[in-house]
Amino acid sequence: MTKNEALPLGEEIGEAMRIITGKYKGRHFEVPRSFSARPTTDFAKENLFNVLQAYIDFDEAPTALDLFSGTGSITLELVSRGCGRVISVELDGRHHRLIKQFLDKLQDTAALPVRGDVFQYLAKCREQFDFIFADPPYALPQLPELPDIVLSRNLLKEGGLFVLEHGKTNNFSQHPRFVEHRSYGSVNFSFFQ
């Protein structure tokens, strides 16, 4: 396999996503310029996963749910770090196909990409996860309600962690299940248990 993964025919190269560490460390995946989703920056992603090590034992093959998956950057990182099962939910058909293409190139069956609306998925999901990550569009009207929506569904296992990526205008520090906030440039993460 090549270090840089090929784009679908006719697509112009945009940003390259890199897997930071784990069994696929260093693999690069090209995201078409025409895609509206912005991958979590390498800087923010690396710092996020450094913090996650205090909460999640990746050696225990945890289960994860990646909501608003976009380009699949977090899903790929979770698979690389040894998650036993990762469900990746993305509504946009082009983004969903790209995530499937990236996972096919890795030939790793730990991730299940699901094309669908996150809110409908959450309403029907009966599975529990060790880790849930959400990276919605920062302008999403329901973004302020996401912690309540996710946490009220009993989707986290005992001791599980929910992380929400958001812009600087959101403040979740008064939420009863808020644990901590981390900021890396314009990228903000709020942690809930």
**Domains of the chain (ranges, CATH numbers):** 39-192 (3.40.50.150)
Length of the chain counted residue by residue? 193
pLDDT for the residue numbered 31: 86
How far, CA to CA in Å, does 36 sit from each of 15, 32, 118, 143, 162?
11, 9, 17, 18, 24
Contact 13, 30 (CB under 8 A): yes
Q: What is the pLDDT of residue 82?
A: 95
- 90: Cβ contacts below 8 Å, ≥ 6 apart: 68, 69, 70, 72, 96, 99, 113, 114, 115, 116
For residue 38, the model assigns a pLDDT of 64
Query: What integer pLDDT is reported at residue 41 of this predicted model?
Result: 78
Distance between CA atoms of residues 38 and 130, nearest Å: 25
pLDDT, one tens digit for every residue, the chain (193 residues): 334 444 444 455 556 788 999 999 999 998 887 776 666 778 889 999 999 999 999 999 999 999 999 999 999 999 999 999 999 999 999 999 999 999 999 999 999 999 999 999 999 999 999 999 999 999 999 999 999 999 999 999 999 999 999 999 999 999 999 999 999 988 999 999 9
Note the Cα 127 to chain centre separation in Å.
Answer: 17
| pTM to 2 decimal places | 0.90
What's the pLDDT at 40?
Answer: 74
**Separation CA 20–CA 126 (nearest Å):** 31
Q: Which pLDDT score, from 0 to 100, does residue 39 have?
A: 67
Report pLDDT for 157: 96
pLDDT at residue 167 in the model: 92
For 54, residues 6+ apart whose C-beta sits below 8 A from its C-beta are none
